[in-house]
Amino acid sequence: MSDLKTVLGEAVEAAFAAEGVPAELARVTPSDRPDLADFQSNGALAAAKRVGKNPREIATAVAERLKSDPRLASVEIAGPGFINLKLTDAALADRANAVAADPRTGAETLAEPRKVIVDYGGPNVAKPMHVGHLRASIIGESIKRIYRFRGDTVVGDAHFGDWGYQMGLLIGAVCDENPEIAALVDQLNATGDVADEIPDAFRAVTLADLDRLYPLAAAKGKEDLTYRDRARKLTADLQAHKPGCYVLWRQFRAVTQVALERDFHALGVDFDWWKGESDADPLIPEMVAELDAKGLLVDDQGARIVRVAREGDKRELPPLLVVSSEGSAMYGTTDLATILDRKRAFGPDLVIYCVDQRQADHFEIVFRAAYLAGYAAEGQLEHIGFGTMNGPDGKPFKTREGGVLKLNDLIEMTRGKARERLHEAGLGENLPESEFEEIASKVAVAALKFADLQNFRGTSYVFDLDRFTSFEGKTGPYLLYQAVRVKSLLRKAETEGAAAGPVTVAEPAERDLVLTLDAFETALAEAYDKKAPNALAEHAYRLSQAFSKFYAACPILVAAPPVRGSRLTLAAAVLRQLETALDLLGIAVPERM
Ligand code: ARG
């Protein structure tokens, strides 16, 4: 069953057509004046210009036809020709019953599902994750869930940064510090033996070592040209699969992955593919040959590039650097090869790259090269950029010590604040320690994710833990609290033996609640079409507010059985829809708090 907006849209279209005015103008939207009407159509104004009639005249004729619709309690003309529609209580009750009976609470699925890859998270081996990765993870996870819920077949891929210059830097830095490792790298490189098992000497390298060494090596590489050149050489050796470098690199990747899985898990983020840049490496030789055969590869001072500038470009786009003068594959090389890899492995209709807005040019260049190479059709690759999470100084968020933020620290810090907030609110106090901890984790994740997703992704926002974790206002914890309240109400009804029954609608707060439940489909469609989870965040918030008003105005458990049954059905539908919407944002609701 379609949502009310669609159903009314069809009715108004039919009335337009019957009056000989273009039906496609008959758009129905929620009313700007909820006190007067539920929905409105402004189509008569546009139609008037087209057919050269007075808009009020058209609106009146259309309204006359609509008046016989049994679902409409009133049809009125306002202003220059707006048509105001008010539904009968019975029509609202019908819709409420359909939503309540539907496991998807009124959300439609696509007629033509597609195969979609969401490339998000994008953490790097050894380099700590920064706020860009945090936002990529939060937004990407939500987009993945929204697309899947809508009916697409979706794969989420982490696309690890594990094959670039930072790997050469680290191999060098680890060897400098540990002569035993350096000797073993040389020995394996010379003998050409790839160890199946990572040797113990390499296994001693921990993530803490990498975290400690990377910033030092990166800084040194910027100042010291010899150091930088050696790192580049080691990167090329790694990419050539020289066994010493390659096996040591496997250790780097393994220790990083364990930590990343833990952090992502704590954040409620999960990938179907934990692939990385290195997974595209085997395809590079063949890709380079193919680009060459297609005449796309150009020699440029020892490097090999693909020119992607187009006639009419407003700015000059640099070419794609495919092979560096040292013979290394670059960031863009692995990205292009990954497109080929994904095409073969999955054949996606669409790949969504959820990555920091600052990489917009990088993706434009890679996408153009992919279209030229025939690895994807124009429009199948889409970069979804986003702004930054800033500190109070308006610059990308940093730790108090001024360093880059580590995801793990951020989660710990937020969890600490969540515990404090729960105590302040007197919540979860009588629960067992382990359950309290689980609740604190969920509150922390809800706080971080909702604060991020309630803004359109392009907007930057300021990190404000006090506000994010508050149980009041437009926050994740507030929404969890509302959902838990409904859960406890429904539990109470069950212990009292109060049964749910068919919905009837009478009170204004009931009408409002049903109209809000009905708007889920619109919110989901917008989130999907615009890749904008904030539409669902907004819906979740409105639904909670509508429920709050309903709860205050309409007694539930003390009402007479038919009314009580109706209100319990409404409450159960609200809970299911709220949990669904929050789940699409990547937020899980505790049982109690
Ligand atoms: N690892 C990259 C970075 O830290 C992000 C990867 C984004 N995805 C991609 N296909 N390039 O900036």
Per-residue pLDDT of the chain (593 residues; tens, 9 = 90+): 799 999 999 999 999 999 998 889 888 999 999 999 999 999 999 888 888 889 999 999 999 999 999 999 999 999 999 999 999 999 999 999 999 999 999 999 999 999 999 999 999 998 777 777 999 999 999 999 999 999 999 999 999 999 999 999 999 999 999 999 999 999 999 998 887 899 999 999 999 999 899 999 999 999 999 999 999 999 999 999 999 999 999 999 999 999 999 999 999 999 999 999 999 999 999 999 999 999 999 999 999 999 999 999 999 999 999 999 888 899 999 999 999 999 999 999 999 999 999 999 999 999 999 999 999 999 999 999 999 999 888 888 876 666 777 888 899 999 999 999 999 999 988 999 999 999 999 999 999 999 999 999 999 999 999 999 999 999 999 999 999 999 999 999 999 999 999 999 999 999 999 999 999 999 999 999 999 999 999 999 999 999 999 999 999 999 999 999 999 999 999 999 999 999 999 999 999 99
- Say yes or no: CB of residue 119 within 6 Å of ligand 1: yes
- Say yes or no: CB of residue 164 within 6 Å of ligand 1: no
User: Closest ligand 1 atom, CA of 335?
Assistant: 10
CA dist 290 and 296 (Å) reads 9
State the alpha helices, DSSP H only, in 401-497: 407-424, 433-453, 465-468, 476-495
Statement to judge: residues 523 and 427 lie in one domain: yes
Statement to judge: residues 429 and 567 lie in one domain: yes
- Say yes or no: CB of residue 243 within 6 Å of ligand 1: no
User: Closest ligand 1 atom, CA of 127?
Assistant: 4
Statement to judge: residues 412 and 534 lie in one domain: yes
Domain end marker among 242, 266, 290:
266
- Say yes or no: CB of residue 140 within 6 Å of ligand 1: no
Q: Which of 146, 135, 131, 208 is nearest to 174 (CA)?
A: 208
Q: What is the pLDDT at residue 66?
A: 96
Statement to judge: residues 78 and 178 lie in one domain: no
CA dist 59 and 45 (Å) reads 8
Statement to judge: residues 61 and 169 lie in one domain: no
**Helix 243-266 vs helix 225-239: crossing angle, to nearest 10:** 90
- Rounded distance from Cα 365 to ligand 1 centre (Å): 14
Q: What is the pLDDT at residue 402?
A: 66
Residue 60 domain flag? yes
Write the CATH number for 465: 1.10.730.10
- Rounded distance from Cα 282 to ligand 1 centre (Å): 19
Residue 66 near residue 75, CB atoms below 8 Å = yes
Statement to judge: residues 202 and 67 lie in one domain: no
What letter represents residue 403's amino acid? G
pTM value is 0.96
- Rounded distance from Cα 159 to ligand 1 centre (Å): 7
Statement to judge: residues 571 and 478 lie in one domain: yes
Residue 256 domain flag? yes
Domain end marker among 232, 248, 266:
266
Q: Return the residue whose CA atom lies nearest to atom 7 of ligand 1.
A: 122
CA dist 290 and 337 (Å) reads 11
Statement to judge: residues 177 and 81 lie in one domain: no
Residue 517 domain flag? yes
Domain end marker among 87, 115, 147:
87
Question: What is the secondary structure of 102-138 as a DSSP string?
Answer: -TTTT----SS--EEEEE----BSSSPP-HHHHHHHH
Phi/psi region, residue 432 (left: phi>0; alpha: psi -120 to 50; beta: rest), is beta
Q: Return the residue whose CA atom lies nearest to atom 2 of ligand 1.
A: 122
Q: What is the pLDDT at residue 398?
A: 77
**Which one of 124, 330, 355, 407 would you pick to mutate in the ligand 1 pocket, going by the greatest count of ligand atoms within 8 A of its CB?**
355
Write the CATH number for 60: 3.30.1360.70
CA dist 86 and 40 (Å) reads 9
Q: What is the pLDDT at residue 49?
A: 85
Statement to judge: residues 441 and 540 lie in one domain: yes
Residue 105 domain flag? no
Q: Is 199 exposed, middle or buried (0-12, 13-18, 19+ CB in 10 A)?
A: middle
Q: What is the pLDDT at residue 408?
A: 85
**What are the C-alpha distances in Å from 233 to residues 69, 169, 281, 293?**
76, 10, 17, 28
CA dist 400 and 358 (Å) reads 24
- Say yes or no: CB of residue 124 within 6 Å of ligand 1: yes
* Domain with 435 in it: 407-584
Residue 366 domain flag? no
Statement to judge: residues 184 and 44 lie in one domain: no
- Say yes or no: CB of residue 355 within 6 Å of ligand 1: yes
- Rounded distance from Cα 448 to ligand 1 centre (Å): 22
Angle at 393 between CA 388 and CA 394, to 5 degrees: 30
- Rounded distance from Cα 356 to ligand 1 centre (Å): 9
Statement to judge: residues 575 and 459 lie in one domain: yes
Sign of the four-CA dihedral 438, 441, 447, 450: negative
Residue 220 domain flag? yes
- Rounded distance from Cα 270 to ligand 1 centre (Å): 17
Q: Which of 480, 483, 488 is nearest to 441 (CA)?
A: 480
Statement to judge: residues 420 and 568 lie in one domain: yes
Q: Which residues contact 519 (CB under 8 A, 6 or more apart)?
A: 3, 5, 30, 539, 542
Question: Looking at the 3D structure of the chain, how many domains does it have?
Answer: 3
Residue 228 domain flag? yes
Residue 205 domain flag? yes
- Say yes or no: CB of residue 465 within 6 Å of ligand 1: no
